[in-house]
Structure 1
Amino acid sequence: IGFITKTFMNQMEQFAGTFLQKAIIYVTYSAAYILIAGDVLYAAFKNIRSGRFFDEKFLISLATITALIIQYYDEAIFVIIFYKIGELLQNYAVNYTRKSITNLIDIQPQFATVIVDGEYVEMEPIQVVAGDIIIVRPGERIPLDGVVIEGEGSLDTSALTGESLHKEVHTNDQVLSGSINIDGNLKIKVTKIYQDSMASRILDMVENASSLKSKSENYITRFARYYTPTIVIIALILAVLLPFIIDEYTLTWKNGFQESIMTALIFLVVSCPCALVISIPLGFFGGIGGASRQGILVKGSNYLETLTSVKTFVFDKTGTLTKGRFVVDEIISFGDYKKEEILDYAAHAEANSPHLIARSIVDAYGAENIVESRIQSQKQNSTFGLSCIVDNKPILIGKGDYLSKEGLVVPSLDRIGTKVYIAIDGKCEGCLLIKDEIKYNAATAITALKENGISKTIMLTGDADEIAEEVSAELGIDEYYANMSPLDKVAKVTEIKNQTPVNDKVVFVGDGINDAPVLSRADVGIAMGGMGSDAAIQVADIVLMTDDLAKLT
């Protein structure tokens, strides 16, 4: 509006140069300027109050305000528009970061059932104290850390450990808040108040871990520390000295200092680092856009810069290097039954069990091949095994300890993986070895990373040591650490960072809610987008949208 008004009035002699024209132009341009540059002016003001006078916001503000004063209206507006375009593009890339971690609320227990004088009383977890006895029914989430004093069951700890395999617990076993009780009533003696329990600590760590991440100082801000005061000083020198050294100027206000100040302000406007302010964000934005077309979401330009200094890759196991899906890896027969027959009896025995291991056995056999009429008297005797009758033959299936307690001789096996033994007609006849399937291109990705200059690869897992050793050996990973909780992983990554040279950076690659704290603790956190939890994806700095590990290279 101001530009059109100015142009129109300049064509009309009765308005050209009048006070009315100047007033209309000044009001319209000033209003537009304040609307566009308000946040920049406020930021410059805050920096001045905090003692940081010379930065790019100060220079932009000083140049554009003085341009308005000397009636360079268009130049003032377009300078701030170009600056804001650069900031907008940069903010679009950088601020596409962590959303709220509302998905983590799923691991936060909403209530605890406390036994008080023989009665069940529901309380908020924060009201429960150490020493209280709580009961957790099937399907409920354990509200506080504690020790099982009565009952046995299996727990879904995937939100804490990332491991899909359920954890069997019985009397005197420790349990962590955030775990889900799959079956069996558990009486638990609380050992930690809510603030110190695992679920609360994970939530707190994710909320605050970002503050621990070292933030690269923006290049333009560093440059402006020296550039801005230099430009301001030169402008002041020009404003003061030009009337003394230029013949056309006099030592009066109108024909001397007014003109010299105008020249100094023009110099100030021309010297604004708009090219840098716009080109650098655009360069990073182009890189982020190119990555997104390859299925890689980069949430900020600073992470692109950090990746150039990465020398260490740390991986979660389940869901990252492996598929997080259990499969029957091997079937061993101890007697006269063929492997196909062992699988047949095992699948029918486990046909109606919801356990993940049971499902993997049924899947290996084929759910469509199950004949329900062959199955009789199926009974879950404990969380470690079950009994039933298949084809009029008594079947016991489960862990070796379960069969041993039933008085059967269980052959020892030197195999790595989860072992499911099956007894037919009172004799242990076979074993099914269950493993988590390794992703098809995991080994290739590890090799490619090393070829591209990564000096060390490390795997962290909540799984057992022998399983971790086998996976790391198969993939060619340099180091591994097993039996780790989310907090152990954070501590280990912190230790790795402390042992890494200052200029070398550490990347963590994970997928589950339990990985969210350590994703934030690493210099760069990379989440697997396809199967990864929403919390991990939101907290991560980079997301592989197709779960393809090859994109790491």
Structure 2
Amino acid sequence: MEEEENRTKLARIVASAVLLVVAVVVQRTVELPMWGYLLAYLVPYLVAGYDVLAEAWEGVREGDPFDEDFLMAIATIGALAIGFLPGSDPEFAEAVFVMLFFQVGELFEDIAEDRSERSISHLMDIRPDVATVVRDGAEKVVSPADVRVGETIVVRPGERVPLDGVVLEGETSLDTMALTGESMPRPAGVGDELLSGCVNVSGVVRARVTKSFGESTASKVLDLVENASESKSRSEAFITRFARVYTPVVVFAAVATALVPPLVSGDFAASFPTWLARALTFLVVSCPCALVISVPLTFFGGLGGASRRGILVKGSNYLEALAKAGVVVFDKTGTLTKGEFKVVSVVSAAQAGEKDVAPATAAPAGASAAAPAGAAAPAGASDELLHFAAHVESFSNHPIATALREAFSCLDDGCEVADVHEVAGKGVVGTVNGHVVAVGNELLMQERGVACASAHERGTIVHVASDDAYLGYVVIADEPKPDARKAVADIKAEGVRRTVMLTGDRASVAESVASELGIDEVHAELLPQDKVSEVERLISEKGEGETLAFVGDGINDAPVLARADIGIAMGALGSDAAIDAADVVLMDDEPSKIAVAIRVARRTLRIARQNTVFAIAVKVAVLVLAFFGLASMWLAVFADVGVMVLAVLNATRALR
């Protein structure tokens, strides 16, 4: 619909320009009375500006007339009227040109901002359409809205959890990516909470419903996006704010110029025509053409310059908001980190230190005996550890299993793997070449009576034991993006005074990443509604005139992207919902582009201010001359069209 309106406006501009050429030809070749020329120019004038006149009239009727539409209307009508004053030359073409230029600027503004209104229908995927509920001893498939609090639901592997609840029977792993943005599944057993929107990965579970469908987590995520979009802070267009002051001052000054001097002179009838002509010249000079064209063009150039750097800004108002960013808030996974889990280190029992493992720990055949703490373990110990871990995990599609397999490239070495079974929420146990191998967390080691090392490293710790003898552990982590640290440093160099990270990941991992990247503040283990609450708090604490920018990539980030003053989404790998809810999209997922976007925005705003100061200074000077009768219509045209041309040329610098 918006694209169709833009095409219609473009057609009107082209039609008006053609009709203007026809009117000029008529004026120069055909002898007509003044009103005949007026009619010839009224046609292109009304084609271009009928909606501006309508908006101006509506503002007058509603008691709020002083905006750019009103000033455009009165200035162009004044230009049309000058030709009927004794001794004055007609300025009909000027009036049409002014209205045409105004509409071109409005068109550019509309094109730049159309993309800011996107559908977020992709989010509907996280809210299931059906639920399996147990009634009268039988399972029934119903709408989630029909399930009552306290009823029991059944969730099978591969199904999305339809309602919030507490597990009554069974154990499983939950893919919480849709809510937390974290790709590492989380274990869930009896007594643990199930959140709607999660995907059941492995086991069948029965759960007691604790919240109605409308109050479920998935529903709240959707509602948060809608409500946040409505309450989103949007800066008014720069020129509109200026016009609210400029327009009434100019109008009242023109009226005063036409009436006060004749009244003071004592010969109103004789002097009024002279002062009325000056007042109308005053209005032509005051026409905000340079502002209403150059300022939108400057922002439009900034948008184009940013897009060439892989930064999509959905409107000029977002550029202005981005230029004032004083607080930048980051999501972690997929934003500052790669979102891909890799084995970052392999630590044998010897390297972990004898004090952290059981005294009876024995190494498997081929591995070296324990070494003193901190000593370098032989390659054989690490190789054997990875060998066992990768083979036991060879049949799993769990992210941990994938990372282990990728770290060990010789899975086709003929080893015999048998009796592999998952211990829900703890790990995997299997037999490799006759050795019973356990791969999992500390709970699995405790269950099998194996004393494991106390690891304090960033990432997920996977312990490995063979025949109940501790071998060591593997550290699996989501690595920061190569330019993440530089991104944070560059953002601070641009004048951003506070950087914050919000994540659904564990506190220890989040704090480690924040420390490594130089982020000032971190809040971990957050759900989407928690992130929105944190952003609300940060918005309330920001400085006067500052804006808050949030950078995220997942579906779970959509509500907070919409609530922030300026939402920045990682585009290439980010979810559709996050991209739709954001105001700025980094198309190549490089966080270092955030500083570039801020720099482009601030340069654009600086050029817009230069144009504003230049246009106002010239116009004020010519207005003073017009008041004393020292400014001819040619000088008035320069103060309008000439300043506009110079301002537009300056605006094109924003493209570079």
Report the TM-score, using the length of structure 2 for normalisation: 0.76
How big is each residue's C-alpha offset from its partner over 1:123-180, in whole Å with a ceiling of 9 and x where there is no partner? Answer: 3222322222221121111111111111111111111111111011011111111111
Over 3 Å counting, the alpha-carbon distance change for 1:174 and 1:38 in structure 2 is farther
SS in 1 for 2:312: strand
Counterpart AA for 1:47: G
Partner residue, 1:50? 62
For 1:397-412, list aligned pairs within 5 A. Answer: 397-405=439-447, 407-412=448-453
Conserved 8 A contact 2:450-2:465? no
Deviation at 1:456, TM superposition (A): 2.4
Partner residue, 1:314? 329
Conserved 8 A contact 2:551-2:561? yes
Over 3 Å counting, the alpha-carbon distance change for 1:153 and 1:59 in structure 2 is same
Counterpart AA for 2:131: A
Choose which of 479, 482, 491 in structure 2 pairs with 1:440: 482
Partner residue, 2:524? 482
Instruction: Tell me whether 1:360 sits opposite 2:403 in the alignment.
Output: yes
Over 3 Å counting, the alpha-carbon distance change for 1:547 and 1:390 in structure 2 is same
Choose which of 370, 382, 401 in structure 2 pairs with 1:339: 382
For 1:181-220, list aligned pairs within 5 A. Answer: 181-220=200-239
Choose which of 272, 292, 315 in structure 1 pairs with 2:307: 292
SS in 1 for 2:346: strand
Partner residue, 2:456? 415
Moved more, 345-354 or 91-100: 91-100
Conserved 8 A contact 1:244-1:251? no
For 1:88-237, list aligned pairs within 5 A. Answer: 88-237=107-256
Deviation at 1:16, TM superposition (A): 3.5
For 1:212-291, list aligned pairs within 5 A. Answer: 212-238=231-257, 240=259, 251=269, 264-265=279-280, 267-291=282-306
CA distance in 2, matches of 1:548, 1:8: 55
Conserved 8 A contact 1:326-1:437? yes
Over 3 Å counting, the alpha-carbon distance change for 1:160 and 1:455 in structure 2 is same
Deviation at 1:55, TM superposition (A): 0.9
CA distance in 2, matches of 1:372, 1:206: 53
Instruction: Tell me whether 1:305 sits opposite 2:320 in the alignment.
Output: yes
Over 3 Å counting, the alpha-carbon distance change for 1:269 and 1:376 in structure 2 is same
Conserved 8 A contact 2:535-2:560? yes
Partner residue, 2:536? 494
SS in 1 for 2:592: helix
Conserved 8 A contact 1:351-1:370? no
CA distance in 2, matches of 1:58, 1:128: 57
Deviation at 1:508, TM superposition (A): 1.8
CA distance in 2, matches of 1:458, 1:226: 38
SS in 2 for 1:412: coil
Conserved 8 A contact 2:452-2:472? no
Deviation at 1:402, TM superposition (A): 2.5
Conserved 8 A contact 1:152-1:383? yes
Conserved 8 A contact 1:348-1:370? no
Structure 2, unaligned runs of 5 or more: 1-17, 85-89, 350-361, 368-380, 596-656
Report the TM-score, using the length of structure 1 for normalisation: 0.89
CA distance in 1, matches of 2:317, 2:342: 40
Moved more, 534-543 or 339-348: 534-543
Calculate percent identity across the aligned residue pairs: 44
Deviation at 1:251, TM superposition (A): 4.1
Instruction: Tell me whether 1:350 sits opposite 2:414 in the alignment.
Output: no
Over 3 Å counting, the alpha-carbon distance change for 1:244 and 1:385 in structure 2 is closer
SS in 2 for 1:183: coil
CA distance in 1, matches of 2:586, 2:221: 23
Over 3 Å counting, the alpha-carbon distance change for 1:233 and 1:172 in structure 2 is same
Partner residue, 2:555? 513
Over 3 Å counting, the alpha-carbon distance change for 1:11 and 1:415 in structure 2 is closer
SS in 2 for 1:229: helix
Conserved 8 A contact 1:114-1:120? yes
CA distance in 1, matches of 2:566, 2:400: 34
Instruction: Tell me whether 1:545 sits opposite 2:587 in the alignment.
Output: yes
Name whichever structure is richer in strand by fraction: 1
Deviation at 1:76, TM superposition (A): 3.0
CA distance in 1, matches of 2:25, 2:509: 80
Structure 1, unaligned runs of 5 or more: none
Moved more, 218-227 or 171-180: 218-227
Counterpart AA for 1:57: D
Over 3 Å counting, the alpha-carbon distance change for 1:260 and 1:452 in structure 2 is closer
Deviation at 1:389, TM superposition (A): 2.4
Counterpart AA for 1:62: I
Moved more, 528-537 or 488-497: 528-537
Conserved 8 A contact 1:347-1:370? no
Moved more, 436-445 or 213-222: 213-222
How many residues align? The count is 542
Deviation at 1:469, TM superposition (A): 2.0
How big is each residue's C-alpha offset from its partner over 1:373-431, in whole Å with a ceiling of 9 and x where there is no partner? Answer: 632333334343223322233323222313433x3313132323322222323433332
Partner residue, 2:430? 388
Over 3 Å counting, the alpha-carbon distance change for 1:237 and 1:287 in structure 2 is same
Deviation at 1:492, TM superposition (A): 1.1
CA distance in 2, matches of 1:516, 1:12: 62
CA distance in 2, matches of 1:316, 1:531: 14
Over 3 Å counting, the alpha-carbon distance change for 1:6 and 1:482 in structure 2 is closer
Deviation at 1:449, TM superposition (A): 2.9
The Cα RMSD (Å) is 2.9
Partner residue, 1:41? 53
Choose which of 572, 575, 593 in structure 2 pairs with 1:530: 572
CA distance in 2, matches of 1:510, 1:487: 15
Deviation at 1:343, TM superposition (A): 0.6
Deviation at 1:501, TM superposition (A): 2.4
Partner residue, 1:16? 32
CA distance in 2, matches of 1:484, 1:461: 6
Moved more, 261-270 or 376-385: 261-270
Moved more, 177-186 or 420-429: 420-429
Partner residue, 2:73? 61
CA distance in 2, matches of 1:52, 1:18: 34
SS in 2 for 1:357: helix
SS in 2 for 1:205: helix
CA distance in 2, matches of 1:120, 1:344: 44
Counterpart AA for 1:196: E
SS in 2 for 1:346: helix
Conserved 8 A contact 2:20-2:44? no
SS in 1 for 2:201: strand
Deviation at 1:240, TM superposition (A): 5.0
